[in-house]
C-alpha cells in the first residue's frame, strides 16, 4: 500500500514512486539538510497505522518514534523530533527528523540488518517514509557482538531488550539525572548490579552521601562507613590539609598556609619513609604524627628570627589539637592510623583483589559535614593518582560513581574553589586516558558544572520536573536525541531516555524491576499509614537522643 487515495493533498504532493513491497508508506521526504531534515506525513496513513498489531509500527510518526527510508540497498533510520500541522488542502503534517544511522537491506525479505550509527548516504526529496517495526528495533539495539548489560525494555515494546555498551559507556563517563522520586537511586543500583554481574572481578568505588546503597549491595559489595573506613589523615595532599586545618581567608590564609607547608614537610621528613626519599614534597603520601606537626609549629613559633606575631601559629596548633580530640574525626585523625597502611587501604577500597565483591560503597553520611568534601576529594584523588602512577603496570581500570554530584562539582565556578571540584573535573577531562571512569548521579543537573556534564559521553535522563534542569540536559545531549527530550517531563517512574556512546541510538527505556533485596534504602515514607501507628514514642525519643549525643557511636 502507498498513500491513502482519499487524501487529496497527497495525491497532488507525492511524487511518483515505486510502492514498497510489504511496507506501508506513511509519508515522503520533503527536504534534506545534513543531520536533520523534514518529512511530510499523511494523517490518514498515520491513523491507519495506529491499528497495527505491532506497537512500534502503531506509534509511527509520534514525537520520539523512529521511521525509516530506503536509499539504494540500505535503510536509513531517523528519529521524529517535532510535528507541525499545515492547513493546505486536506491538511498535512510536517515532521522535523534527525538521522540516527543506517542498516543493510536483506534482498529477499527487505528487512533491516547490520545497523550502524551514522549516515553515509542521504535520501532525496520524494523518497518514501515507512514505519520502523519491532523486528527492526531488535536489529538496531542488538548488542550480541560487543560486551553489554541489559537494563530494561525499549519503549513501547515489551520484549526488545535495551542494552548498554559497557566499554563505550565506561570509557567516556556517564551521568544519571532525574528528579527526586522518579526511581533514580533504584535505576543507579540496577545499572551497578548489572555491571557487577557482568564483571565480578571489577573495581568500582561509589560515594554514598545518604547511606542508601549499603542495603542494595550487602551480598556483592564491601561496605565502608566511619566505623570501618580507617582512612589515614596523612593521605591528604597539601591543598586538602589546608581545607581542614586553615580557618582564615585572604592574606591571613596565605600566611597560615606558608607556615603549615613548612611544618608539614618537616613532619613528613622525620619518618623513616620520608628520610629514604631524596626530594620529598609536601604532597607525598608519607605517614607522619600529628603530635610531630604541632610540636614543629610550636618550635617555629618560638624562634627568635620569626617574622610577624604568634597568632597564625596558635590558630594552626589549636585547630589541629581540636580535630585530634574530637571523636567524630576518629575515622581519619585517630592516633592508630599513623602506621603505613596505604597498600592495605588501596587494596580494600579499590577491590584489589575483590573476592567476588567488585564494588565499594563508601557511606559518608556519618562524616562531619565540614570535612565531607575533603574525604570525597581524598578518595577521588587516590583513584586518579593510583591510575597515573600505575601506568607501567598491568592496567586495572576503576569506575568512580558519585551520588549527589552537584554537591561536589557545583556550577557558578564552584569547581575552582574546592579540591573535590577540581579533582572530579580533572577526572572528567583526563580520566579516560588513565583508565578512570566517572559516573555522576544528580537530581539537579542545572546545579552541576556544565563543563563536567558535557564530558559525560552517555546521559541517562529520567523525568525532570524543573524547566531549568530540562534545558540544561537538552544542551548536553547530542543533536540526534532532541526528539526524545520533549518527552522527558512526561516520563513515568522507572522510565528513562538513554543517549550517547553507551547505546547504538537514543532510546526510551522502561527499566527492569529490581528485587527487593537489591534496592537502595530510598523509599518514600507512607504518611497515610505511618501516621496511624502509635505507641512506644518515649522509648523511641530516648534511643534517638542517646545516638544523637553519641554521634552514632
Q: Where are the alpha helices (DSSP H) in 212-349?
A: 238-245, 250-270, 272-276, 290-301, 311-325, 330-333, 342-349
**Torsion sign, CA atoms 193, 197, 199, 202:** positive
Tell me what pLDDT residue 383 has: 93
CA 379, CA 245: separation in Å to the nearest integer? 18
Tell me what pLDDT residue 479 has: 60
Strands 359-363 and 221-224 come out as parallel
- Report pLDDT digits (tens) over 413-469: 545 578 888 899 899 999 888 999 999 999 888 888 888 888 888 999 888 888 888
- Report pLDDT digits (tens) over 159-179: 888 888 888 889 899 999 988
Please name which of 200, 179, 221, 224 lies closest in space to residue 518, comparing C-alpha atoms. 221
Query: What are the extents of the domains in the chain?
Result: 27-141, 163-230+336-524, 235-330
Tell me what pLDDT residue 412 has: 67
Q: Does domain 163-230+336-524 have CATH number 3.40.50.300?
A: yes
Mean pLDDT, residues 93-107: 84
Contact 404, 441 (CB under 8 A): yes
Cell of 506: 537514543
CA angle (522, 526, 531) in 5-degree steps: 130
- Work out the pLDDT band at 223, boundaries 50, 70, 90: very high
Cell of 201: 572481578
Residue 3 has pLDDT above 50, yes or no: no
Tell me what pLDDT residue 5 has: 36
pLDDT winner (highest mean) among 335-344, 391-400, 519-528: 391-400
Mean pLDDT, residues 287-299: 90
- Work out the pLDDT band at 408, boundaries 50, 70, 90: confident
| Residue at grid coordinates 614537610 | 265
Mean pLDDT, residues 87-115: 79
Mean pLDDT of all residues belonging to the chain = 83
- Report pLDDT digits (tens) over 179-205: 888 888 899 999 999 999 888 888 999
Amino acid at each position: 500500500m502507498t498513500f491513502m487515495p482519499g487524501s487529496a493533498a497527497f495525491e497532488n504532493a507525492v511524487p511518483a514512486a515505486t510502492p514498497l513491497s510489504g511496507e506501508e508508506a506513511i509519508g515522503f521526504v520533503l527536504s534534506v539538510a545534513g543531520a536533520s531534515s523534514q518529512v511530510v506525513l499523511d494523517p490518514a496513513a498515520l491513523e491507519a497505522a495506529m491499528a497495527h498489531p505491532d506497537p512500534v509500527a502503531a506509534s509511527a510518526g509520534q514525537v520520539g518514534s523512529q521511521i525509516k527510508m530506503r536509499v539504494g540497498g540500505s535503510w536509513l533510520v531517523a528519529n521524529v523530533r517535532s510535528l507541525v500541522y499545515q492547513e493546505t488542502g486536506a491538511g498535512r503534517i510536517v515532521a522535523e527528523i534527525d538521522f540516527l544511522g543506517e542498516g543493510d537491506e536483506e534482498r529477499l525479505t527487505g528487512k533491516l540488518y547490520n545497523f550502524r550509527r551514522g549516515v553515509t548516504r542521504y535520501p532525496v526529496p520524494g523518497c518514501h517514509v515507512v514505519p520502523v517495526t519491532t523486528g527492526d528495533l531488535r536489529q538496531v539495539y542488538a548488542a550480541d557482538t560487543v560486551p553489554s548489560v541489559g537494563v530494561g525494555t525499549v519503549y513501547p515494546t515489551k520484549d526488545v531488550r535495551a542494552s548498554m555498551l559497557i566499554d563505550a559507556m565506561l570509557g567516556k563517563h556517564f551521568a544519571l539525572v532525574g528528579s527526586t522520586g522518579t526511581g533514580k537511586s533504584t535505576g543507579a543500583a540496577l545499572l551497578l548490579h548489572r555491571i557487577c554481574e557482568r564483571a565480578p572481578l571489577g573495581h568500582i568505588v561509589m560515594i554514598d552521601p545518604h547511606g542508601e546503597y549499603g542495603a542494595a549491595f550487602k551480598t556483592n559489595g564491601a561496605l565502608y562507613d566511619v566505623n570501618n573506613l580507617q582512612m589515614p589523615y596523612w593521605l591528604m595532599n597539601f591543598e586538602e590539609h589546608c581545607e581542614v586545618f586553615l580557618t582564615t581567608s585572604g592574606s591571613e590564609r596565605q600566611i597560615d598556609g606558608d607556615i603549615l607547608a613548612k611544618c608539614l614537610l618537616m613532619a613528613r621528613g622525620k619518618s623513616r619513609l620520608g628520610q629514604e626519599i631524596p626530594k620529598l614534597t609536601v604532597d607525598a603520601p608519607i605517614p607522619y604524627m600529628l603530635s610531630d606537626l604541632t610540636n614543629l609549629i610550636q618550635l617555629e613559633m618560638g624562634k627568635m628570627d620569626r617574622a610577624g606575631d604568634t597568632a597564625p601559629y596558635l590558630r594552626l596548633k589549636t585547630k589541629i589539637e581540636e580535630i585530634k580530640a574530637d571523636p567524630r574525626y576518629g575515622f581519619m585523625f585517630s592516633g592508630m592510623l599513623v602506621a603505613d597502611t596505604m597498600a592495605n587501604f588501596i587494596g580494600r577500597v579499590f577491590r584489589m583483589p575483590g573476592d567476588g565483591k567488585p564494588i565499594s560503597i563508601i557511606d559518608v553520611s556519618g562524616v562531619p559535614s565540614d570535612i565531607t568534601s575533603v574525604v570525597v576529594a581524598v578518595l577521588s584523588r587516590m583513584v586518579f593518582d593510583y591510575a597515573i602512577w600505575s601506568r607501567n603496570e598491568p592496567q586495572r581500570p576503576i569506575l568512580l560513581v558519585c551520588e549527589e554530584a552537584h554537591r561536589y562539582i557545583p556550577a557558578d565556578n564552584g569547581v575552582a574553589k574546592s579540591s573535590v571540584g577540581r579533582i572530579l573535573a580533572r577526572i572528567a577531562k583526563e580520566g579516560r586516558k588513565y583508565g578512570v571512569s566517572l559516573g555522576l548521579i544528580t537530581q539537579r543537573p542545572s546545579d552541576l558544572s556544565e563543563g563536567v556534564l558535557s564530558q559525560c559521553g552517555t546521559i541517562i535522563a529520567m523525568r525532570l520536573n524543573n524547566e531549568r534542569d530540562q534545558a540544561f540536559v537538552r544542551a548536553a545531549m547530542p543533536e540526534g536525541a532532541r526528539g526524545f527530550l520533549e518527552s522527558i517531563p512526561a516520563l513515568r517512574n522507572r522510565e528513562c531516555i538513554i543517549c550517547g556512546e553507551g547505546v547504538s541510538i537514543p532510546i526510551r527505556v522502561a527499566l527492569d524491576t529490581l528485587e527487593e533485596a537489591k534496592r537502595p534504602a530510598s523509599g518514600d515514607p507512607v504518611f497515610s499509614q505511618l501516621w496511624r501507628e502509635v505507641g512506644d514514642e518515649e522509648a523511641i525519643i530516648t534511643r534517638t537522643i542517646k545516638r544523637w549525643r553519641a554521634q552514632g557511636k
